[in-house]
Amino acid sequence: MDQLTAHDPRRIGPFEVLGRLGAGGMGLVYLARSAAGRRVAIKTVRAELAEDQLFRVRFAREIAAARTVSGFYTAAVVDADADAAVPWLATAYIPAPSLEDLVTECGPLPVATVRWLIAGIAEALQSIHAANLVHRDLKPSNVLVTEDGPRVIDFGIAAGVSHTRLTMTNVAVGTPAYMSPEQARDSRGVQGASDVFSLGSLMVFAATGHPPYHGANPVETVFMLLREAPDLSGLPEELAPLVRACMRTAPERRPVPAEIAAELAPHLYGSGDGTQDDAGEWLPPVALDLIEKKKGRRTPPPPSFQQPVAPPESSAHGAGYPGHAGPMSPGAPAGGGVRPGYPVSEAAHGGSGGSGGSPGGGPGAGAGAAGMPGGAAGMPGGAAGMGAAAGGQLPVQPATHRGGQHAGPPAHESASATRTPPEAATTARPVVHLPGMAAPIGPGVRLPANPPSEPVTPPTTGWVQRGAHAAPSGPVSTGSPGSPAGPASAGPAVPPSVPGSPGSSGSPGSSGSSGSSGSSGPVASAVPAPAQSPASGPSGPGTAPAESQAAPEAPWRPWRFRMSHDVWGAPIISDGVLYVASFGVHALDIASGRRRFRTESVAWALAVADGRVHAADGPNLFTLQAADGVERWRVALDGWTYTLDAAGGALVAGTRGGGVHVHSAIDGSEMWHTNDAQQAYENPASGPCVIGDSVYYYGGGCLRSLELTTGQLQWAFPLGEEVPSRPVLWRGMLLLCSGTRVYAVDEQTGAERWRFDAPVVLFTSPAVSEQGVFVADYLGTVFALDPANGAVRWHARTGGRQGADPAVLAEDLVLVGSGDTVFAFDTRTGTERWRYAARAELAGIPAAAGSLVHLGSRDHSLHTLDLANGRLRWKLDTGGEITGSPVTADGRVFACSKDHCVYALDAARGTATGRE
């Protein structure tokens, strides 16, 4: 960063300017900070561009489009002003070297590192293209590299696909060495495939150290791009097929980013037990050193302020939720969440920042964090043997560097086996090297920028005041492999950080808890837990059994589990376990949030039935025991599996290209298969399914019913060209929507009972109850039909719905989402009972249970309403968009978010744990 000159501004908008970061294509780039201390990178516009009104229009539109981009591998737009005298755009500041700097200083990267980086960039492109954007300048200097993945930056010249009229004819926008041929000819009409070509060029640079096209000047480079093959000299053979696919001349023949990520995933996440942090393991040490240097690490604070740092995949209990105080609560941050009168407990199960002692402190310090593998309370590189007798000197293990982590002694080593070197015995203390003094260290806790020079004496066991809330502290069970368990001292009272700010555990990418995933236990508020011995279980070596770690009388607490990678779809609950797909299948205990197991194989489709977990990694089916995750069988299919359904001891898979495969759920043996299913809409909503003893699928213009075990055709009902929704069985009738019609078909014979013709197309399955058959068309009209004959009982309008989510029945109400609003109609009369408007479009369908309704919205929020009147009960702002739909069980609600987290909350009170 360069010092400011006399001509540089000292403030831009609400931000204080700290220094110059450099110059971009549009103008200067500054480092600045907000009033709350959040650092941002502000890109300003050159004077000649600011005077161009056409540019201002384009700039304003691109800002609006860039705000819609979300994703772990992109830098978020924080603020902007296109109407200022000098227009500017502020994005989240990421202190990391660019890919260009990394390769220039460290040389070509290993194949594994290149795959890891390209997979992250491909995921970023998915987010960018989903926002109807094309980056247009994807190059090494626009990719920042951190320990946990790349970050794609600089949307300054990205233009919305629908706004290409603002791009001048025959002006190539981008960098010649990395742009696509079609972009070099005419940048107006480029699509997302152009970014894929640039991604292939990035791959060449990362693996070889040179771009695929490098002329003496930009004009010569463009000439080479249009007329010559790329220079792939030095490219490892393992990467050549993917590079050539991305750099095909015809844009339509290039793979899409999702296909690139899918191809790379098995190389990245096919090994390991999933209990360790993936961050940093892909980068060579020289690259990690450069990243550390770029961050400008400060000197670590005194040991009394050292706190255990949670790995990315961890379970945070009771704290760390961004926006955890509700908008109705006194002093609550805007957009926050829980109902007033129910304070959020910030004591984490297993020792959450400040609740579990003084790790690395002086004599008498107890174990600070439960379940951390190795080192100080399990902190890699810390002191072993936490929980030593009062007054004893804690032995210290010098930190060693491995893959970006500071690794402590092996789990099997005893506490007495690690000692401080004699020459450092009088001065050295356990030091945890934190990524900057303001980095998050636990739910709601942040290290002070200027810690006091003297250690803070930990308070006695009791209540620790944290801001406006009080959380109990006390003995916890360490459960640390390689160290004995013992009573913990209460940690120092540290004020929580502001939710959403850097260092807040609730911010995207934060770890959220000081406990290794799969091994953190609930707080025992009064009685220390018994010592645990290392055990080997489904969650990995050294994980103690869940029942031996948890105090039976401990109350359930909300928790959050953070994955290393994206979570997709809605979770599945079965027998007290929550199953989530995040590359592999993750099985989480809903009572404690501990992970029972994780599969090594990628899971693109998932089904759970009869004590078995079925999944598909694309061409392969495999089944696990639900109890421990042990694989029972695996078979290969002749197509890519896009949907799974399990029932009646059978597993039905739909594969691309019209395949329907039925296998035994017990041993995987094939029962039968066919290849005549529809191929127009190959998605779970329109794929083959099991209902009762029959398999139903659409093919050849007919809905077909086949016997489950033999595949014998029972009947075929003609529907025409419209692909139907999944059928719903109701009292001997199959109800389904197809095009603009609702059909009732006899389950046994396939004869038509009745049909209803709607004015607008219907995409989803009907909802049916004693009160009627309920369907909602594409434009938002809700119809209530008589189940006996299909006559219309009533209809109501919701407005411009333009969606395909089904209606939801809850007691005497039918709920329908329309844009950013959910409507509730009386099932008998069709009278609107209430409506609730969120701040953004709804994500998924509402989940109703008891007297509550839970729904997600695309502004990263989870809302809970009273079913009776639609009033907001509580709201949680997460670090990413809610994926799929929330699910409920046992008075709890579970949701997945694009911030890589799974949230488990009290259905009535959200993150609160108190009881009236």
Q: What residues are annotated to the active site?
A: 137
Residues 6+ apart with CB under 8 A from 891: 850, 906, 907, 908
Q: With 0-12 CB in 10 A as exposed, 13-18 as middle and 19+ as buried, what is 427?
A: exposed
Question: Tokens in use for 598?
Answer: 């994780």
Structure tokens belonging to residue 37:
């201390």
Contact 587, 554 (CB under 8 A): no
DSSP state of 189: G
Residues 6+ apart with CB under 8 A from 411: 373, 374, 481, 482, 534, 541, 542
**Residue 79: Cβ within 10 Å count:** 17
Element (H, E) at 208: helix 192-208
- From residue 520, give the alpha-carbon distance in Å to each of 60, 352, 594, 613, 656: 47, 10, 7, 24, 41
The pair of structure tokens assigned to 641 is 């599996």
Alpha-carbon gap, residue 181 to 410, rounded angstroms: 53
Q: What's the first-to-final CA gap in the chain, in angstroms?
A: 54
Q: How many contiguous H segments (helices) and E segments (strands) does the chain have?
A: 11, 55
Whole-angstrom distance, CA of residue 723 vs CA of residue 557: 45
Q: In DSSP terms, which residues pair with 598 in a beta bridge?
A: 586
H-run or E-run covering 540: strand 540-541
Strand order in the sheet with 752-757: 728-730, 733-738, 741-746, 752-757
Look at residues 595, 706, 604 and name the one whose alpha carbon lies nearest to residue 648.
Answer: 706
> Which phi and psi angles does 195 have, rounded to 5°?
-65, -30
Tell me the C-alpha distance between 428 and 453, whole Å.
Answer: 15
Q: How far is CA 904 from the centre of its chain?
A: 15
Residue type, 913: T
**Residue listed under structure tokens 């957009």:** 335
- For residue 841, how many C-alpha atoms fall within 13 Å in the half-sphere facing its CB? 11
Decide: helix, strand or coil at residue 154.
coil
Are 762 and 740 a contacting pair, CB within 8 Å?
A: yes
